[in-house]
Structure 1
């Protein structure tokens, strides 16, 4: 079947008006706009994603696309969404809550389309670069807001922490990802003796770290960023270089600790929050997380195979709430702040297996050398480890960071593998 025959009648009509290359360019532009908007706006991201879906669909060869869905990197996201839909059938939650709980998974359906498109488009790096540029602009704006909170679009208490839009958790995830991702090109440029460009990228990476040190940072980023750096050292540095960098990082961390009240406050709050929770049932950030996890494990054990159904989490917490109104044990939530437990409570072991299988195949996709493979690997690693403390795959901002990063970098990686396969000599 030819590509034209596989297209819908509407696609064929629109294709007569514009060339295929033009439609690919239009789709690429909307992908770039999505990356630019992600650090700043949720509504713009939703609009640009829909525009990207529409323009990319016009040039879709549905026969090839359906064949691509057989790959685990594509059908596992579909399987997770399908399970969420099926889970509505055995849930006791109101139908509104069931459908609302399905919506965070829908973004995963965009992944196969991104793989398909950027396996064929040569502009994937434009999208990744656009996200970096947007985050650089945000770090500048965050620094401005730290000095003049009146500039911020957020309430005064958040503006004082350098937040212009969104929140400090989303901002920290962006800055941590960009700072660590830049390590690969910096090392490559230094090895190639391109010192000026290496210094420029190094200054940008330092800017992200300085903002997180002296303006605001989430505790999730504080815990996961060292893990991301360790992954980089393990994969891309010799052990002697790793030891030297580890020593430098330790020294700089000590310096940051002594000069940054914000960093000390965040670190000390781990122990303060835990003590208040254990001794007084106070609903601190650490305390309520531990309470959510403890109860979620109990919910999982009550229905370990298929879970309690989509959207059931809030109802379960309402039934389990005890104590006075403003205590840790009385808190009710629809998200246990852990991706694995979020899935396990609703869809049991089946859901957890699908979640980890998807993470695994996406990790394996980015085996090998190269900047694109490194970015894709880092996006998956960050999502896995930050999801220990939040449901980041289902959260809007971090979830789209995952979908856009893995989808674009994954498509580029698949294209590179095809090029290598086509140039390899035939065996004897």
Structure 2
């Protein structure tokens, strides 16, 4: 690794050094993702300009014709055009357009990591960064004054929030299952135990420090997909039994986990009986009204940035009650798109998700990472607009972009080898 500093400094004259710089910036962004919002935004801007210096424009422009690139671009274009028929103030239209623009990085990430051999560096950097966040979270639990979030900080949260932290820990946990199983099959016990310890540290933190309810839904679904794809049915039965026993044990031993699960029914009861704006109650209210807004403009929606104005018009009663609550985000990705851009937007959104799912069919760690990133985003977007949220949106863009480039590179290499062999 001693060659890295000299290669970095030689970027002006050496194309390989410029490629290395682009890779290292991507690694730095992945490392910052669990810790910093502004750092990620600035880092991705720097990455883009560094990448422009190494782009070969003709092959890049040809790569844009692939559905994995066309569909995210189409969604951003629809959001931009949707500002024309929205009757929201222009600042609201541009504010609603902004979260979609991160999807424009996907074609550049696909193209770069299809040519780079260092995509796995990005994921290792993210994993190490999340692993370091685990002991910090425990320290904040023991000494809350260490948090950077101030007096309103959630339990065990040093930076960001408990939803973002849970998303990171869930993704790392499930992704690690693949190399752990592979190492065990190759009888590399020490390496498997090390990765298992890392995965268990994420699970223990979620069980005994803090976890989001979205994570409680997404984690078992992602683990179930892993079992169906990578394990034999007898192993699945044994693991299912073990999971039920360990889950029941964790719930019994963890007051925090009990409180999180019991809050589901309590919040629903408070909402139905007293019309109070609980988290679950508000989601039901948002979804019901959003379906009504969608029915009013089912084809192309109400336009970009129109959601808050619609909720303001539909509010009944004071804001302290659920029916009077006003928001610009219905906490469901499909409804968020449907209200603003109608059926056209929903079709593009689902086509994009499907195209990215399809890209990750096959074997290999990169394909597994990409598959889990897409699956997590789709499932968690039932309860949030995670594709448009800053943190989860960048997890999707970076995860799918880097893993997608790695998968495309592996397939092109396999095709070349096959062609050489047949010749």
Structure 1 length as normaliser, TM-score?
0.95
Alpha-carbon distance in structure 1 between the residues aligned to 2:58 and 2:414: 24
2:76 maps to which residue? 81
The structure 2 residue matched to 1:359, chosen from 330, 353, 366, is 353
2:31 maps to which residue? 36
2:253 maps to which residue? 259
The 5 Å alignment of 1:78-157 reads 78-157=73-152
The answer to whether the aligner puts 1:286 opposite 2:267 as a matched pair is no
Name the SS for the 1:282 alignment partner: coil
Alpha-carbon distance in structure 1 between the residues aligned to 2:339 and 2:11: 50
The answer to whether the aligner puts 1:272 opposite 2:269 as a matched pair is no
Alpha-carbon distance in structure 2 between the residues aligned to 1:187 and 1:121: 27
Q: Is the 8 A contact 2:147 2:157 kept in 1?
A: yes
Range that drifts further, 92-101 or 148-157 = 148-157
The structure 2 residue matched to 1:321, chosen from 315, 321, 331, is 315
**How many Å apart are 1:155 and its aligned residue?**
2.5
For the aligned residues, what is the CA RMSD? 1.1
Name the SS for the 1:21 alignment partner: helix
**How many Å apart are 1:47 and its aligned residue?**
1.1
**How many Å apart are 1:157 and its aligned residue?**
4.6
Structure 1, residues 325-370: CA drift from partner, whole Å, max 9, x if none? 3111111000000000000000000000000000000000000011
The 5 Å alignment of 1:245-256 reads 245-256=239-250
Name the SS for the 2:153 alignment partner: helix
Alpha-carbon distance in structure 2 between the residues aligned to 1:113 and 1:16: 20
**How many Å apart are 1:16 and its aligned residue?**
9.3
* C-alpha distance 321-419 of structure 1, shift in aligned 2 (>3 A): same
Q: Is the 8 A contact 2:370 2:403 kept in 1?
A: yes
The answer to whether the aligner puts 1:340 opposite 2:334 as a matched pair is yes
The answer to whether the aligner puts 1:57 opposite 2:49 as a matched pair is no
2:294 maps to which residue? 300
Alpha-carbon distance in structure 2 between the residues aligned to 1:321 and 1:95: 22
Mark the runs of 5 or more structure 1 residues left unpaired by the alignment.
1-14
Alpha-carbon distance in structure 2 between the residues aligned to 1:63 and 1:48: 26
The structure 1 residue matched to 2:18, chosen from 23, 35, 50, is 23
2:5 maps to which residue? none
Alpha-carbon distance in structure 2 between the residues aligned to 1:84 and 1:420: 38
Alpha-carbon distance in structure 2 between the residues aligned to 1:218 and 1:180: 16
Alpha-carbon distance in structure 2 between the residues aligned to 1:306 and 1:352: 10
1:393 maps to which residue? 387
The answer to whether the aligner puts 1:177 opposite 2:174 as a matched pair is no
**How many Å apart are 1:257 and its aligned residue?**
0.8
Alpha-carbon distance in structure 2 between the residues aligned to 1:370 and 1:120: 18
Q: How many residues align?
A: 413
Mark the runs of 5 or more structure 2 residues left unpaired by the alignment.
1-9
2:182 maps to which residue? 188
The structure 1 residue matched to 2:204, chosen from 204, 207, 210, is 210
The structure 1 residue matched to 2:398, chosen from 388, 396, 404, is 404
The structure 2 residue matched to 1:166, chosen from 160, 169, 175, is 160
1:330 maps to which residue? 324
Q: Is the 8 A contact 2:11 2:17 kept in 1?
A: no
Structure 1, residues 267-322: CA drift from partner, whole Å, max 9, x if none? 01100101111111110000000000000000000000000000000000000001
Moved over 3 A (4+): 425-428
**How many Å apart are 1:183 and its aligned residue?**
0.3
Alpha-carbon distance in structure 2 between the residues aligned to 1:17 and 1:205: 41
Alpha-carbon distance in structure 1 between the residues aligned to 2:176 and 2:250: 20
Alpha-carbon distance in structure 1 between the residues aligned to 2:11 and 2:193: 48
2:414 maps to which residue? 420
Q: Is the 8 A contact 2:275 2:321 kept in 1?
A: yes
